[in-house]
A and B are shown apart, each in its own frame.
Chain A
Amino acid sequence: MTPPELVRFAPSSRAVHRATAVLGIVCLVTAAALYLEPLAELVGRRNLVVDLHVWSGLALPAPALLGALARATRADFGLLNRFTPADREWLRRRDRRRAGLPVGKFNAGQKLNAALSAGGGLVLLGTGIVMAYGRRWPLDLRIGATFVHDWTAAAFLLLVLGHLWFASHDEDARRGMRTGSVPAGWALQQHPAWARGLLAAGSGEAAGMNPDQERVHHRANDLLPEERAAGSDDPEGEAAAILADSDEREDHPGAAPDTVLERRTSAEATDPLD
Chain B
Amino acid sequence: MGDEGRPVGRRVVLGVLGLGALGVAFGRQLSDAEQRVLGVVGPRDFTGLTQLIPAGAGFRFYSVTGSIPRRDAATLTVTVGGLVERPRTWTLAQLAALPQSTQQRDFQCVTGWRVPSVQWSGVALPDLLDLARPRPDATAVRFTSFDGSYGESLTLEQARRRDVLVATALQGKPISAAHGGPVRMAVLPMYGYKSLKWLDRIELTAEVEPGYWERRGYDVDGWVGRSNGRGDDPT
Contact = CB atoms under 8 A, between A and B. Distances in A.
Contacts of B5: 82-85, 87
B190 to A, nearest CB: 16
Contact of B68 (A41, A85, A139, A143): A41
A82 B6 contact: yes
Interface residues of A, number: 53
Contact of A144 (B16, B26, B34): B26
Contact of A123 (B16, B26, B228): B16
**B: contact size bracket:** 35 or more
A152 B217 CA distance: 28
Contacts of A45: 63-66
A45 B149 CA distance: 11
A153 interface: yes
Given A46-B62, A82-B6, A139-B229, A147 B23 contact: yes
A79 interface: yes
Interface in B46-91: 51, 54-55, 59-68
Interface string A65-97: 000000000010011111111010000000000
Given A112-B12, A123-B16, A143-B31, A136 B66 contact: no
A150 B54 contact: yes
A119 B25 contact: no
B136 interface: no
Interface of A: 35, 37, 40-47, 75, 78-85, 87, 104, 111-112, 114-116, 118-120, 122-123, 126-127, 130, 135-137, 139-148, 150-154, 197
Given A37-B178, A123-B20, A148-B24, 14 more contacts: A37-B51, A41-B63, A43-B66, A44-B67, A46-B64, A82-B2, A84-B5, A104-B1, A136-B229, A140-B27, A144-B24, A144-B27, A145-B27, A154-B54
Closest 6 pairs between A and B when the two form their complex, measured CB to CB: A144-B27, A119-B16, A78-B2, A123-B20, A150-B54, A115-B12
Interface of B: 1-10, 12-17, 19-20, 23-28, 30-31, 34, 51, 54-55, 59-68, 111-112, 178, 216-217, 228-232
